[in-house]
Amino acid sequence: MLEKKLLIPETFSADPSVHVFNGKLYIYPSHDRDVELESNDNGDQYMMEDYHVYEMQDTETMPKDCGMIFHLKDVPWAKEQLWAPDCAEKDGKYYFYFPARDKQGFFRIGVAVSDNPSGPFKVEPEPIKGSYSIDPCCFADDDGNYYLTFGGIWGGQLDKYRDNVYNEAHKEPAGSIPALGGRIAKLKPNMKEFAETPREVVILDKSGKPIEGGDHDRRYFEAPCQFKRNGKYYFTYSTGDTHNICWATSDNVYGPYTYGGILLKPVIGWTNHHYCVEFKGKWYLFYHDCERSKGVNHHRDVKFCSLHFNDDGSIQTVTP
């Protein structure tokens, strides 16, 4: 198996979301540019301009580049920064969700549609109404409902929102104040609109108390990945500046979720972004690191490894 090997050596790629369509694995990453840019906490170094899709026949075969599915110039409402995307299938149509800054500098989430998982995708002329921030993840529940989780603080602007309203004066909660959570909203049947007002995904510790803003080892920062296993909902996410990928569980898709532990320890590089997927009866963790670029944070590479669950549903920690 190609565990922990560089999967896309011909370019830099990051933020993988991965799905099984038509019996194959499809990787939907962001596309880091091989340019020299100054790094900062706002993420200005991540000036991605296009998306490619990669098809894997199995875990033994290197991915095939299916080509560019669209470029920044194809997004009429966007100004810059095509960051971490996701994709979902419904009734033979494929819906690609992506964040970008609009002409006013606010992150919104757009949708592009295709008849094929490898694209090309046609971009909708406007972002999802009421969307904001970054890192969309589309989760399909057993009952046929689809949900979009999203949100990232700092460069992703989530810390500036309260009750879905932006205010530049807001800051990330600190100390014993409850941490901010990601956001979740059910999608309408057309997969292009929210069916409800986005709500917060609350993460609790094992005593039932909300994770505190000062608890940077466990608090939510960005990169939500939501899935279901054995009737249990899993919400996994990055802690950002402490570089962990953590997991939490709930009996309800909306939560609250109870913190479980660390899924993936820090990788080489600043960001940590992942996706959990089941393929042919086994679970895999896709992620990125900066090993090839020796820590240059906007030159990242997608890798993957096996993911193992204990009998009680807890996830075994992966060391990259």
Kindly list the catalytic residues: 15, 222
Per-residue HEC secondary structure of the chain comes to: CCCCCCCCCCCCCEEEEEEEECCEEEEEEECCCCCCCCCCCCCCCCCCCEEEEEEECCCCCCCEEEEEEEEHHHCCCEEECCCCCEEEEECCEEEEEEEEEECCCCEEEEEEEECCCCCCCEECCCCCCCCCCCCCEEEECCCCCEEEEECCCHHHCHHHEECCEECCCCCCCCCCCECCCCEEEEECCCCCCECCCCEECCEECCCCCECECCCCCCCCCEEEEEEEECCEEEEEEECHHHCCEEEEEECCCCCCEEEEEEEECCCCCCCCCEEEEEECCEEEEEEEECCCCCCCCCCCEEEEEEECECCCCCECCECC
For tokens 């530049």, what's the residue?
168
